[in-house]
Structure 1
């Protein structure tokens, strides 16, 4: 990942948001020419530009716009060049059947009948319209029922079995995978060579005090270097299947409330082993816990539930279990570093989701968890010992 340090040539938030908003209006007018369209609240995100909207008198929808399939942070940091370049490239990108949102729409269609997923209301002019999904998120349910953490995570995992069988990749139309949401791929892209070093150097420049930013840069650089060395020594723990990919607790809702099946949002299906979904689910559940800090009793119950759930899906054979747990720990670390560095590199003008803001405030505890985990892995400790250490660190960080 490269970026320009010349702030005068970077796109501005006004340019990017103004263009995306105009595209949403144009797309909505094309989809519903006879109905009034009103944009509601902007939904803060580091990935795409998202708005609530109403069509007609009462049809609620979400409108999502993607700029070159890249994160808003990358766009605003100048990774794709100045605004004039981005504006010239965006129309052809939006019209492509290979655009990110075209593939996401195809994936949502693929998921219908396989598991409960959000439904689309249309795709045009590079804007994807989806129907809202109501009900509490997985994280909200976990915080409300911490003693049920293992059961709730297990229920989500059971829904994904249709994707996790070895032959599943052959069922999804070729060309619709979203490989750019791969955790390991993102990590390697972010921290590759000189550009990766420059990227780390600027972490927190707009969001942290200079002293805190300097400390964060030192820890992240150490953790990244360890992970890059360890990654080359990590073997896949099993055959590839389909992974949901973007398996975050906020992408899982329960429209029917207690006892109902989960409904999934924002897929990022890619060819990978189930361990990728397990690692993402663990990583983002833990980060949600650190962001909220609900009290030690709740933290302990949830961490115990995460541990029980993980043990229940770990392969039974000792050698395979060690490989699987080691890969889970590596991907957990990479995902945490990926999202935390994205938040920390976001320009001050980009609105962040509440959890992102909370995690920036908790950057010290998050860095402590990643530093200790990566240190233990680099020392050659057994995956089980690293797992136990990681959970102890999480309890301290979230309490």
Structure 2
């Protein structure tokens, strides 16, 4: 089994990504300046100045998470370069795909970040001023959760139902939450090896975390396969780090990083809930309680299920809980198996530091998802009531 860094070091891969960004930026204007990198698990992202333009540049190495690119699966740096050259000429090029999605979503009425160009596998978007990630707002101003979570989901769902978007005949992949669980996590039994190679965790916690991941994935696989709810177009990357919020209560959130997919319609609210809860339980603000956030989540789901008959309501709750658990499992696995050499966002570091808490959360959400139909609503309420006590 190859070591995680068999093909290329993170330093070399980062230098290569910077080279791609500078080369692409030169086609957009005067000599570019790369100001700073932005930590990420999946892509390389940089602040870039091109003349008076202030842009964000993102480059995804072959469309795979950084940890995967570093494992040597795709060869050394020379082989990666050759593969990238071929990749950017195909419809799978993530930069060109995201630019198309941003333009389509903007036409559909969504307040999304404006693309400045997709060149050579690099997506450039205009920087957004005077906005704060929703993840930080929920941590420091939890009283705004009710207003913001509902607004974000409503805006996204309205845009996705746009006739113009339907006519676009998008060729998009299946839901990444379900595919990650069934074809990624579900195919792995090597948690101990990958955690050990990454070096994010060590000591007595590791065996317990490995056991929880393994047992949870085994329980979730049949649940995911049995999901029965309606399917359609979903945003695919709807979590608080991808939503920028202004100070004014009436300001419309700006959305980043779409990854349009087709899958269960519960996928977007499930991911939004999953990442929101991970944020507030692993990195709570010392002076602000999280109860308003959990109340807002309850209200959000109540709004989604209110007009449905009992069978459809149970079906939606089952889907939400199952996909919430699957997304949390996937996030925990991705964070813990990303090598220590990779700078990761503060939220990911908080997950590492509170990995045992996340395992408890994962266990409880999975248990709720497995409740019998008539007990799903009680399981949902009990789960939300228990969340503030996780720490």
Which string of whole-angstrom CA distances, capped at 9 and with x for unpartnered residues, describes residues 252-287 of structure 1? 112473311111111011123431111011011101
Which string of whole-angstrom CA distances, capped at 9 and with x for unpartnered residues, describes residues 94-142 of structure 1? 2223311111010011012321111111111111111012312223333
1:59 match? 53
Which string of whole-angstrom CA distances, capped at 9 and with x for unpartnered residues, describes residues 276-314 of structure 1? 111011011101112321259621121112111211112
Among residues 259, 265, 269, which one is paired with 1:278 in the alignment? Answer: 269
1:243 match? 234
Among residues 351, 362, 371, which one is paired with 1:359 in the alignment? Answer: 351
CA distance in 1: counterparts of 2:6 and 2:149, whole angstroms: 45
TM-score by length of 2: 0.92
Instruction: Determine if the alignment matches structure 1 residue 105 to structure 2 residue 99.
Output: yes
Residue 375 to residue 339, structure 1, CA distance change in 2 (3 Å): same
Which string of whole-angstrom CA distances, capped at 9 and with x for unpartnered residues, describes residues 317-358 of structure 1? 111000000000000011111111101001111111111001
CA distance in 1: counterparts of 2:272 and 2:359, whole angstroms: 19
Among residues 136, 139, 147, which one is paired with 1:143 in the alignment? Answer: 139
Residue 166 to residue 329, structure 1, CA distance change in 2 (3 Å): farther
1:14 match? 11
Shift of 1:379: 5.7
CA distance in 1: counterparts of 2:203 and 2:136, whole angstroms: 34
Shift of 1:204: 5.4
1:37 match? 32
Instruction: Determine if the alignment matches structure 1 residue 129 to structure 2 residue 124.
Output: yes
1:259 match? 250
CA distance in 2: counterparts of 1:278 and 1:53, whole angstroms: 32
TM-score by length of 1: 0.90
CA distance in 2: counterparts of 1:296 and 1:223, whole angstroms: 33
CA distance in 2: counterparts of 1:234 and 1:73, whole angstroms: 30
Instruction: Determine if the alignment matches structure 1 residue 330 to structure 2 residue 326.
Output: no
Instruction: Determine if the alignment matches structure 1 residue 370 to structure 2 residue 362.
Output: yes
CA distance in 2: counterparts of 1:334 and 1:17, whole angstroms: 30
- Could you list the runs of 5+ residues in structure 2 that have no partner in the other structure? none
Is the 1:136–1:257 contact (alpha carbons within 8 Å) kept by the matching residues of 2? no
- Could you list the runs of 5+ residues in structure 1 that have no partner in the other structure? none
RMSD: 2.2
Instruction: Determine if the alignment matches structure 1 residue 160 to structure 2 residue 153.
Output: no
Is the 1:169–1:242 contact (alpha carbons within 8 Å) kept by the matching residues of 2? no
Runs of 4+ residues deviating >4 angstroms: 166-169
Is the 1:117–1:264 contact (alpha carbons within 8 Å) kept by the matching residues of 2? yes
